[in-house]
């Protein structure tokens, strides 16, 4: 069953995403253009369909938000089954707002799920191996999906404001070039569900960093007063990817804001920190 997108607070008229509910199981969001690529699977979780309680209701995918481990593990099992992969194949990031990207392989499957993470400070993952499920985690920050359609390689990166101003998207693309021989002309990028410009107020010190780093300031920054600005992470990440050689027509923009949809998606801003974690998943079949 496909859930009507009118249930979401859609930002744009052009609908790039669809929310899918497989016969009442854990719903997830897909990018229509990525769904057309036959060798990958992907999905972005919602807060629905899990077993977590209270402010973590209900599909919390974090072991570090005060939830019972058995609840989180059950949630991973449910979302994995819904999207169509084995939860034991998940490779988790260890996000600390860096621009560190790690190549992972089949031997890394289960990292963070069935075995302890052997690394730290990793906000991006890449692979070219089948059934290695890349996973990164969110509650307003920007997910970046990368698919090299020629060399059959993928990347998945977490980009908050720090990662964005430090060009996490470019770091991931460069890593795919170095490891897989990827050409930016062959890479499709999807900028995932995250906080929109209207909801994302930042202080002047953050705005100054973006003003120094980005050219397209009319789209990226709006000055409210002497101390506060509205920041467009979606456009900033688009510029980062274009500067790294991705063609504009191969960049899919989000149409869902986490903060505008707090009943469906966890939002750190909307909940004032009382929330669970969403997850992005990307894998080669």
CATH of the domain at 131: 3.60.140.10
Question: Is 214 inside a domain boundary?
Answer: no
- As a whole number of angstroms, the distance between CA 2 and CA 23 comes to 9
Question: Is 239 inside a domain boundary?
Answer: no
Q: What is the model's pLDDT at position 37?
A: 98
Question: Is 65 inside a domain boundary?
Answer: yes
Question: Is 38 inside a domain boundary?
Answer: yes
Q: What is the model's pLDDT at position 2?
A: 38
Question: Is 275 inside a domain boundary?
Answer: yes
Question: Is 240 inside a domain boundary?
Answer: no
User: What is the phi/psi pair of residue 215, to 5°?
Assistant: -85, -40
What's this model's pTM, rounded to 2 decimal places? 0.96
Match 């990662």 to its residue by tokens. Answer: 163
- As a whole number of angstroms, the distance between CA 51 and CA 57 comes to 7
How many distinct structural domains can be found in the chain?
1
Q: Is 10 helix (H, G, I), strand (E, B) or coil?
A: strand
Question: Is 230 inside a domain boundary?
Answer: no
Q: What is the model's pLDDT at position 118?
A: 97
Directed axis angle between helix 233-243 and helix 168-180, to 10°?
A: 30
Calculate the CA dihedral of residues 5, 8, 13, 14 and round it to 10 degrees: -60
Q: What is the model's pLDDT at position 216?
A: 81
For the chain of 285 residues, list the mean pLDDT of each consecutive stretch of 10: 47 74 86 97 97 97 97 98 97 98 98 97 98 98 98 98 98 98 98 97 96 92 91 98 98 95 96 98 98
CA distances to 82, 139, 257 from 77, in Å: 9, 20, 26
Question: Is 213 inside a domain boundary?
Answer: no
CA distances to 132, 178, 270 from 109, in Å: 6, 22, 33
Residue 114: domain span: 2-195+245-284
Q: What is the model's pLDDT at position 225?
A: 83
């Amino acid at each position: 069953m496909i859930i009507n997108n009118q249930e979401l607070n859609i930002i744009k008229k052009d609908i790039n995403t669809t929310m899918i509910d497989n016969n009442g199981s854990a719903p997830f969001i897909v990018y229509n253009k990525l769904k057309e690529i036959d060798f990958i699977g992907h999905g972005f979780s919602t807060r629905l369909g899990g077993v977590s309680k209270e402010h973590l209701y209900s599909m919390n995918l974090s072991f570090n938000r005060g939830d019972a481990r058995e609840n989180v593990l059950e949630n991973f099992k449910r979302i994995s089954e819904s999207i169509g992969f084995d939860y034991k194949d998940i490779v988790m990031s260890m996000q600390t707002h860096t621009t560190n990207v790690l190549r992972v392989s089949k031997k890394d499957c289960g990292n963070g799920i069935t075995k302890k993470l052997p690394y730290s400070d990793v906000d991006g993952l890449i692979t070219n191996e089948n059934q290695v499920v890349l996973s990164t985690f969110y509650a307003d920050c920007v997910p970046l999906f990368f698919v090299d359609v020629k060399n059959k390689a993928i990347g998945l990166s977490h980009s908050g404001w720090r990662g964005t101003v430090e060009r996490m998207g470019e770091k991931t693309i460069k890593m795919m070039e170095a490891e897989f021989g990827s050409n930016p002309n062959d890479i499709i990028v999807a900028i995932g569900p995250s906080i929109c410009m209207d909801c994302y107020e930042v202080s002047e010190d953050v705005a100054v960093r973006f003003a120094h780093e980005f050219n397209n300031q009319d789209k990226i920054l709006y000055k409210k007063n002497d101390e506060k600005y509205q920041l467009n992470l979606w456009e900033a990440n688009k510029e980062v990817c274009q500067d790294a050689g991705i063609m504009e027509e191969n960049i899919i923009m989000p149409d869902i804001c986490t903060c505008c949809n707090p009943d469906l998606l966890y939002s750190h801003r909307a909940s004032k920190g009382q929330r669970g974690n969403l997850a992005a998943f990307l894998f080669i079949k």
